[in-house]
Chains A and B, each alone.
Chain A
Amino acid sequence: MSSTTAEPGAPAAPGRFPREIPIQYGMAALVVVLVAAPLVPILYQSFLTGALYDRDAQLTLGNFARLAQTEGFGTVLWNTFLLAALSTVVAQFFGTAAAILFGRTDLPGARVLGELFLWPIYLSALVLSFGWYSIYGPAGYVTLFWQSMFGEAPWNLYSIGGMAVIAGVSQAPLAYLYCLSSAGMTDPTLEEAARVSGSGTFRTLWRITLPLMMPAIAYSAVLNFTIGLELLSVPLIFGEPAGVTVLTTFLYNISATSPRPDHGLVATAAALMLVVIVFLVWLQGRLLGNTRRFVTLGGKATRPRPFRLGGLRWPFFAICVAYVVATGVAPVSMLVLRAFTSFLSPMIPLADVLTLENFEILWREPVYLRSITNSFIVSLVGAAGATALIGMIALIVHRSEFRFRNALHYTALFPRAIPGVVAGIGFFYAFALLPGLGGIRNSIWILVIAFTMRFIPTGLGAVAPMLLQVSPDLDRAARVQGADWWTTTRRIMAPLMRPALVACYTILFISFFKEYSTAIFLFAPGSEVIGTALLQTWVQGEVGVVAGLAAIQVVVIAVCITTARAIFGVKLHG
């Protein structure tokens, strides 16, 4: 070809300064600081005689002995284990049954029922608990109705059993999703073989489908057990009044609500919890390695022929409808209804109690209005920052030659093993320890930082699979043509990742918006969010206001999900 300005054969970047070096090391350092920030102070404090900021504090091992000797600590551990185990059983039972019924049979309306079954995943367990309270609580709608008809109601939410059912129901969607993607659901050949050889529907289900689902059931069981251990809302609302304490509420009681917290004890209990969860997350990793082999990826497999339920079709349908109504639809609806009434009882006509007073209070009291605005700021702005960070992490981990990319990946996924309460306590210490950060400590930005750390793994989970679908040839082509890593990232990868980033932002927005467990250790007057306001108001017994706040949270999340699905086609789970 003819004349040019650039010399033929000249590279675009002849020995330019490698910009990727400071960017990649900078990002890695940021992630390490974020993840280490809550952990280091907790671990350090657990070996100190006094408070972390106390100059006279000595190193000691005594905290562990003191914790072990704390009165009732054994019961706390036993309750914790029992609640986690029972809620896992409940979650696995309903999740597996739902996966088979909605995924593999000719149940009428299976698709819609499947959607409704997922509801609890989008709501915080806190809101779900309030919903259950308003229906099945001592003064709940159904409880009162039952009492007027048959006398004493046979259920009691204020017990380990009652809590396990609420927690189990809110975790069942996870088991459901994992089972749906298991080989038992998607590989028709083995099943067809069994049927051809004359095996009946239930026999095939029992002997073929269910065993093929075992890896998925096992993995989600460990996941749910972990979540059960970390759970704060349900034991806080139903356990505390009944005197049933678990590890999370124990931590809450001795730190956030205690006037003179024993920091050594708090940190030691948090460290103990951390160690247990780290082990469980490690176990999840091991199990997942095994599950992968059973999971058919990418939906390549054709959907197998559904099982015929025959005469049991409609009875099963009735049971499923009853389940989704009783566990999700009714509690949420009742909560929303409660927001618009002054009192709710089957004995009083609805028209007499309808009111907007709850919302007037929300509007009038600065603390509520502030918590709502704060929630929006934290979620809108925080999720944007977190999405940018997560996008960069994903690109460095999956699309760069960064020397420590594996270590970075590991670090970025580590927050999975940090429970919300531990993160909350840890960041509290971290900010108390470092001078000059006082401004952040009493603002919503401490929440943004803590939430970001907490949800890095969640965001990566949304971004990484989509990023891996972008052919590496596309960025390699840009590199060969003379774009360095940073230019390639901005000009080629960022636009190609847009759907992944939108999905990530949506998921983070929802996660930030409903987060409370980290926040209750970190908020200060002025930096309340909906989650913390909910808990505080609940303690004050303002049920109507709680319902109003919860309704706002539910509606915002619903709008967010619907928009994301309609406009961007975002898939929010699976």
Chain B
Amino acid sequence: MADLKIEGLVKRFGEVRAVDDVSIHVADGEFVTLLGPSGCGKSTTLAAVAGLDRPDEGRITVGGKVYFDGTRGTYLPPESRGCGLVFQSYALWPHMTVADNVAFPLTLRKVKAAERKRRIAEVLALVEMEPYADRYPHMLSGGQQQRVALARTLVYQPSILLLDEPLSNLDAKLRDRARTWLAELRTRLGLTTIYVTHDQIEALSLSDRIVVMNSGRIAQLGTPQDIYERPADPFVADFIGTTNFLPAKVAGVAGGVATLELADGQRVEMAAERPPEAGARVTLAFRPEQMRVAAAGEGSGPEGSVIATRVLSKSYVGGRWQVALDLGGGPLRLEAETPPSGDEVRLWLPRSGCILFKGVTDVAA
């Protein structure tokens, strides 16, 4: 087992910098997720680690062994690296049975027949696919193929495990099951793993740490809690979970509390560790679940502020209501157990827990 160090990785496709100065250190046995929108460079990063694409700059080492070094021109071909990569498409070889697929990496390593048989049985049992050993890939469901692909990679005990959206081809139900199963497997095996996904639930529930990527760059690197509760910028806040963004101006600062003036002139108070100076333009970000409908007659106080909004639409989404609101021209999303009555809703917003970003952002959806 080994740790993985990526330093200053750059990969260009013509003019496009698909991966732009990415540095990640994955500790031995750690499970790190690359998360980001489509085309942000996740697969390219993974391919660089596996040796499928030669990067342009940077350095990749696994357990002290140099895989790639741009300045020295070191480049190990994929077959000399010993990584394990599970493809989004699974890439099972259609002309081989499940057992043959799994046997292939062992044959390459000249593992003796008896030993090979034992290890194939062992790994197929691990992924609960033993009864299917003699089937061909096209006779398997998507979920089963995914397990075989994983087995084929685990069987040779790779130094690090790279998973490229392994669950994205499964339907919602199967995906949930596969995620739980993967989480169990992960604690059992304790492999150094990079997991690629654009599904935030997978990222949050499986990872030790998450790397959020945006157009080839690292937007934030941290634990799931860090990322969710303290997003580094509006992009991360928007990408992880649902976030409301309100443009505002700092009206005044006193004792770690900033008074903000919203677009339509209403005022809210926010606790801020490093409050911006008065007059600055800021963006207020908070999760729908952080606010609630204010009780009748409730007003602003030291705990939170009350703001008035207009109801645009409401829809029932099973057990709860999603309400689209308008606040001085800006949209807001609210989740409530009972639908609001009337056109106006008064909201209560806590003084702490919301985040202030400097400047005006246009991320808001």
Residues of A within 8 A of B (CB): 1-2, 4-6, 8-16, 18, 401, 471, 473-474, 476-484, 487, 491-492, 495-496
Q: Find the B residue at minimum CB distance from A16.
A: B80
User: Contacts A12-B79, A492-B93: A480 and B50 contacting too (C-beta < 8 A)?
Assistant: yes
Q: Would B91 and A481 count as touching, CB distance under 8 A? A: no
List chain A residues, Cβ under 8 A from B158: 9
List chain B residues, Cβ under 8 A from A471: 89, 91
Minimal beta-carbon separation of B245 from chain A (angstroms): 39
19 contacts between A and B (CB under 8 A): A4-B157, A5-B115, A8-B157, A8-B159, A9-B63, A9-B157, A9-B158, A11-B80, A473-B88, A476-B85, A477-B85, A477-B93, A480-B52, A480-B83, A481-B84, A482-B109, A484-B79, A495-B95, A496-B94
List chain B residues, Cβ under 8 A from A480: 50-52, 78-79, 81, 83-85
Q: Would B1 and A15 count as touching, CB distance under 8 A? A: no
CA distance A404 to B305 in the complex (A): 68
CA distance A496 to B126 in the complex (A): 29
13 additional A-B pairs beyond A473-B87, A481-B104, A496-B95, beta carbons within 8 Å, are A2-B122, A6-B111, A9-B82, A9-B157, A10-B159, A12-B108, A473-B88, A477-B93, A480-B78, A481-B156, A482-B79, A482-B108, A496-B94
Minimal beta-carbon separation of A512 from chain B (angstroms): 29
List chain A residues, Cβ under 8 A from B104: 478, 481, 483, 491
Q: Mark B1-31, 1 if CB is under 8 A from A, else 0.
A: 1100000000000000000000000000000
CA distance A478 to B104 in the complex (A): 8
List chain B residues, Cβ under 8 A from A9: 1-2, 63, 82, 157-159
| Majority SS at the chain A contact face | loop
User: Contacts A1-B157, A4-B119, A9-B159: A481 and B152 contacting too (C-beta < 8 A)?
Assistant: yes
User: Contacts A473-B87, A476-B87: A13 and B80 contacting too (C-beta < 8 A)?
Assistant: yes
Cβ 8 A contact of B108, one of A4, A8, A483: A483
Q: Find the B residue at minimum CB distance from A10.
A: B82
Cβ 8 A contact of A12, one of B105, B112, B126, B189: B105
Chain B interface residue count, CB cutoff 8 Å, equals 43
Among B1, B85, B153, chain A packs the most CB atoms within 10 A around the CB of B85
Minimal beta-carbon separation of B107 from chain A (angstroms): 9
Residues of B within 8 A of A (CB): 1-2, 50-52, 54, 63, 77-85, 87-89, 91, 93-95, 104-105, 108-112, 115, 119, 122-123, 126, 152-154, 156-159, 189
5 A-B pairs closest in CB distance:
A11-B82, A9-B159, A473-B91, A8-B157, A477-B91
Among B115, B123, B154, B189, chain A packs the most CB atoms within 10 A around the CB of B115
| Majority SS at the chain B contact face | loop
Minimal beta-carbon separation of A390 from chain B (angstroms): 21
Minimal beta-carbon separation of B174 from chain A (angstroms): 21
Q: Would B87 and A477 count as touching, CB distance under 8 A? A: yes
Q: Would A479 and B78 count as touching, CB distance under 8 A? A: yes
Minimal beta-carbon separation of B193 from chain A (angstroms): 13
Minimal beta-carbon separation of A495 from chain B (angstroms): 5
Q: Find the B residue at minimum CB distance from A471.
A: B89
Minimal beta-carbon separation of B82 from chain A (angstroms): 3
Minimal beta-carbon separation of A467 from chain B (angstroms): 15
Minimal beta-carbon separation of B11 from chain A (angstroms): 15
List chain A residues, Cβ under 8 A from B109: 6, 10, 12, 482
List chain A residues, Cβ under 8 A from B156: 6, 12, 481-482
Q: Would A476 and B153 count as touching, CB distance under 8 A? A: no
CA distance A474 to B112 in the complex (A): 25
Q: Would A1 and B122 count as touching, CB distance under 8 A? A: yes
Minimal beta-carbon separation of B265 from chain A (angstroms): 52
List chain B residues, Cβ under 8 A from A492: 93
Minimal beta-carbon separation of A455 from chain B (angstroms): 28
List chain A residues, Cβ under 8 A from B51: 479-480
User: Contacts A1-B123, A1-B157, A9-B158: A476 and B91 contacting too (C-beta < 8 A)?
Assistant: yes
List chain B residues, Cβ under 8 A from A16: 79-80
List chain A residues, Cβ under 8 A from B122: 1-2
